[in-house]
């Protein structure tokens, strides 16, 4: 009998891929599930972004293959975006690489820098793809724990222990971090970025900061590349999915030094053929959105929704940090629940509201839930009332 590759035994189907099938079946049965689980913005991109896409799509010569490095217009817009918002100077020709979503960038970076058996450091709790993709590629994943008592920042003493105990034949090659942090909403701190850069320099490894949330409920966007010397040993991924309401467009970027970009491009050019020209030029237009657009969507809209999400946490008896940023609210469940799914499954089947159990982000998330703000205010209000009706 034909069998799949053995690597498939090392991972399971992505939680949301599996769970959304169940939710879809419940909706087909007329149960009208309100989803507060996925971080997929429900608002559109800016009008000029959509107009540019349509304009280019009508051009007869716009539909051919595009360079993997992206169009000059897109790279220039990306460089301008980093200069405008982060104060970071990037050479548009050599220090930026457009990505078909930053999730694909995780694959390309791992292929470019990690040999089978090498170590990859990933945060716990953290984005599951940081773990699953290196595992599929034969790397050894080593978790470094983040703790609520430490503001979900790295414990550098423990990181030193991990690297100090790593055999030379399979060194730690990458350290993944993600600030502002998902799922906990911990803000980025310049002190943390400075210590991560120093750690990378000391141990000859690469720190990758995955940075898609710095514009959501956050008026002081930070980049690890603001730290002097960071570009020599760090890579930053960024994405338009959250900040520009473009999750389905699949536009992200990789920013680092020229040599790293060349190595990553060698991988990427063997996998992809570049994104549609219309998407690239429209994305370039989106990068030039004015300040008020970001304020109206990424600050004011999410702030209104956040108030109802906090009320849901209160009704459920969860504790949470009001200083979180990003498009989720992360809360610790009451001690009366033996397991987080005891709560989330009850909410799903009795209140018909889908929220995310924290265990999918690692062992350190087992006592937490995550509420997405990617739903209209009236839907979050309705979810609040449904939950109130079942919690006595």
The pLDDT tens digits of the residues spanning 203-249 come to 999 999 999 999 999 989 999 999 999 999 999 999 999 999 999 99
CA distances from 366 to 22, 121, 328 (A): 21, 20, 17
CB neighbour class for 12 (10 Å; exposed up to 12, middle 13-18, buried from 19): exposed
User: Which of 91, 101, 142, 98 shows the shortest CA–CA distance to 120?
Assistant: 142
**pLDDT grade for 175, boundaries at 50, 70 and 90:** very high
**pLDDT grade for 7, boundaries at 50, 70 and 90:** confident
- CATH classification of the domain holding 218: 3.40.640.10
User: Which of 259, 190, 201 shows the shortest CA–CA distance to 225?
Assistant: 190
Considering only residues 11 and 234, tell me which one the structure prediction assigns the higher pLDDT: 234
> Which residues sit opposite 254 in a β-bridge?
97, 237
Residue 74: per-residue pLDDT: 97
**CA–CA separation, 257 and 235 (whole Å):** 8
- CATH classification of the domain holding 20: 3.90.1150.10
3-state secondary structure of 238: strand
Residues 139 and 30 in one domain: no
Considering only residues 272 and 263, tell me which one the structure prediction assigns the higher pLDDT: 263
What's the CA angle centered on 368, arms 189 and 344, to 5 degrees?
A: 140
Domain count, the chain: 2
Residues 326 and 351 in one domain: yes
Mean pLDDT of 189-204: 96
Answer yes or no: is 32 within a domain: yes
Residues 255 and 376 in one domain: no
Residue 52 has pLDDT above 90, yes or no: yes
Residue 11: per-residue pLDDT: 79
Residues 261 and 329 in one domain: no
Let me know: does 328 contact 305? Beta carbons within 8 Å.
no
Answer yes or no: is 254 within a domain: yes
Considering only residues 202 and 12, tell me which one the structure prediction assigns the higher pLDDT: 202
User: Which of 223, 125, 225 shows the shortest CA–CA distance to 181?
Assistant: 125
Residues 175 and 224 in one domain: yes
Residues 299 and 267 in one domain: no
**CA–CA separation, 53 and 280 (whole Å):** 8
Q: Which residues contact 331 (CB under 8 A, 6 or more apart)?
A: 313, 316, 318, 319, 320, 368, 369, 370, 371
Residue 17: per-residue pLDDT: 80
Residue 51: per-residue pLDDT: 97
Can you give the residue range of the structural domain that contains 344? Answer: 6-44+292-390
**Full-prediction pTM beyond 0.85?**
yes
Answer yes or no: is 37 within a domain: yes
Residue ending a domain, choose from 250, 265, 286: 286
Residues 282 and 296 in one domain: no
Residues 256 and 129 in one domain: yes
Q: How many CB atoms lie within 10 A of CB 130?
A: 26
Residues above pLDDT 70, as percent of the chain: 100
Answer yes or no: is 1 within a domain: no
**pLDDT grade for 199, boundaries at 50, 70 and 90:** very high
């Amino acid at each position: 009998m034909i069998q799949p590759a053995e690597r498939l035994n090392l991972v399971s189907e992505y939680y949301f891929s599996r769970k959304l099938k169940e939710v879809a079946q419940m909706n087909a049965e007329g149960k009208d599930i309100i989803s507060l689980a996925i971080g997929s913005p429900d608002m559109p991109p800016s009008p000029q972004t959509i107009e540019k896409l349509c304009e280019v799509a009508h051009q007869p010569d716009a539909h051919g293959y595009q360079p993997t490095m992206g169009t000059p217009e897109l790279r220039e817009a990306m460089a301008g975006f980093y200069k405008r918002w982060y104060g970071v100077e990037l050479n548009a020709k050599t220090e930026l690489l457009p990505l078909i979503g930053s999730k694909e960038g995780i694959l390309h970076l791992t292929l470019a820098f990690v040999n089978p058996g090498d170590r990859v450091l990933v945060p716990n709790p953290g984005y599951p793809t940081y773990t699953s993709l290196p595992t599929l590629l034969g790397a050894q994943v080593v978790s470094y724990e983040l703790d609520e008592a430490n503001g979900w920042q790295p414990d550098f003493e423990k990181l030193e222990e991990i690297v100090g105990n790593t055999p030379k034949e399979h060194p730690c090659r990458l350290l993944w971090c993600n600030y502002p942090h998902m799922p906990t909403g911990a803000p980025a701190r310049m002190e943390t970025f400075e210590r991560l850069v120093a750690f990378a320099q000391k141990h000859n490894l690469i720190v990758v900061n995955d940075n898609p949330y710095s514009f959501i409920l956050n008026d002081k966007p930070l980049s690890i590349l603001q730290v002097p010397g960071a570009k020599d040993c760090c890579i930053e991924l960024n994405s338009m999915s959250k900040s520009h309401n473009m999750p389905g467009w699949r536009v992200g970027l990789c920013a680092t030094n020229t040599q790293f970009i060349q190595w990553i491009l060698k991988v990427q050019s063997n996998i992809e053929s570049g994104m549609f020209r219309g998407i690239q030029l429209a994305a370039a237009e989106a990068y030039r959105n004015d300040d008020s657009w970001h304020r109206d969507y990424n600050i004011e809209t999410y702030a209104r929704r956040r108030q109802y999400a906090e009320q849901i946490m209160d009704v459920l008896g969860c504790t949470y940090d009001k200083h979180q940023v990003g498009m989720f609210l992360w809360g610790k469940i009451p001690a009366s629940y033996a397991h987080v799914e005891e709560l989330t499954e009850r909410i799903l089947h009795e209140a018909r509201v889908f929220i995310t159990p924290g265990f999918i982000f690692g062992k350190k998330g087992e006592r937490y839930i995550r509420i997405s703000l990617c739903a209209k205010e009236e839907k979050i209000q309705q979810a609040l009332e449904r939950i109130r009706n079942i919690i006595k």
